[in-house]
Amino acid sequence: MHKKELLTKLDDRQAEDLETYITSDSMWSPVTKFIEEKGLRDDYRETDFIKFLRKVKEENSMNYAVFSYYSLKNLAEALGIDAKWKLVRRKAKLKKPSDREQQKPTLTAEQVEKMVKAVKKNGYDYERFFLALSTAFGCRRIELSRVKEEDIFEDRILIRTGKGGEIREQFLPKQIRPIAQGFEFNGDFTVNVLSDIFHDIRGKAGVEKRGRMGWHSLRRGLVTEFRKRVSQEDGYADADLFKFVRWKPNSRVEEMLSIYDNSDPVEADRKMFEIHPFVEMWGG
């Protein structure tokens, strides 16, 4: 079964989610092979995934088995299946990719400033728009692709998260407000197109290309620079940064904190922008 054939068999939401989650052609291979073997259903059991992944592990390298594991996890999420992936990971004896495999380059403040200067001087409107959002909010690539005209308001913007974090409005700082509010949404900015846009900007700025460099490199840079300031300034904590960059709680403690903390998130963002490492680059 080919990718196109699979997408036509899904409803619109499932097809859109699956294309969103699986962003490289190679990631479709385990998904289509799984469906060819098991058939297309929305009631797969854990044993369906476990048996398939065991077979993959026996016939392929561990790296490909891990790769297949994450591809099928994306399939389950798109189909709305609540699979107990810890059980799958243990029984299939699959390991989380090593820190080295997950490592992505981190842009320095100097590199970010070069990119901002490049698009301010000689950039297209869409380059300024996406770089402004990325430098301000540390947007993931999928979050940038989901921004719509109706998500931008007078002093705030709705960020639609892609990894289980809280979808909420965030304060839109005055430094990038004209760029965001003046942008004309007349293109199809898919995740793949956004990757090309990132490297176009990087090239204009003269920032050296490194393997796996992309929008997440800028997000890592923002978090790195932010933490230096959060740890040094009174009245700020890592919890504020956690919420600002829309991380999904990964413990019961963090989940309960997010439930019980009823402070105005937009006002909290406004405070964070007072110590923001990149937003002033857009001023003047």
- The pTM score is 0.62
Q: Of 194, 206, 200, whose CA–CA distance to 134 is shortest?
A: 194
- Residue 233 has a pLDDT of 59
43: Cα separation from own chain's centroid: 27
The arithmetic mean of pLDDT across residues 232-237, rounded, is: 61
Instruction: Enumerate residues 6+ apart whose C-beta is below 8 A from 86.
Output: none
Q: Give the number of other CB atoms < 10 A from CB of residue 126.
A: 19
Among 114-123, 191-200, 226-235, 272-281, name the one with the lowest average pLDDT.
Answer: 226-235
Write the pLDDT tens digit of every residue in 210-225: 888 999 999 999 988 8
Q: How far is CA 56 from CA 34, 40, 47, 52, 67, in A?
A: 10, 19, 14, 6, 10
77: Cα separation from own chain's centroid: 15
Contact 222, 245 (CB under 8 A): yes
Please tell me which residue, 40 or 113, carries the higher pLDDT value.
113
Q: Considering just the CA atoms, what is the radius of gyration of the chain in Å?
A: 20
Q: How confident is the model at residue 90 (pLDDT cuts 50, 70, 90)?
A: very low
- Residue 80 has a pLDDT of 79
Please tell me which residue, 51 or 127, carries the higher pLDDT value.
127
Residue holding tokens 């892609």? 162
Contact 50, 73 (CB under 8 A): no
The arithmetic mean of pLDDT across residues 71-82, rounded, is: 79
Write the pLDDT tens digit of every residue in 128-141: 999 999 999 999 88
Among 54-58, 136-140, 163-167, name the one with the lowest average pLDDT.
Answer: 163-167
- Residue 246 has a pLDDT of 78
- Residue 114 has a pLDDT of 96
Q: How confident is the model at residue 269 (pLDDT cuts 50, 70, 90)?
A: confident
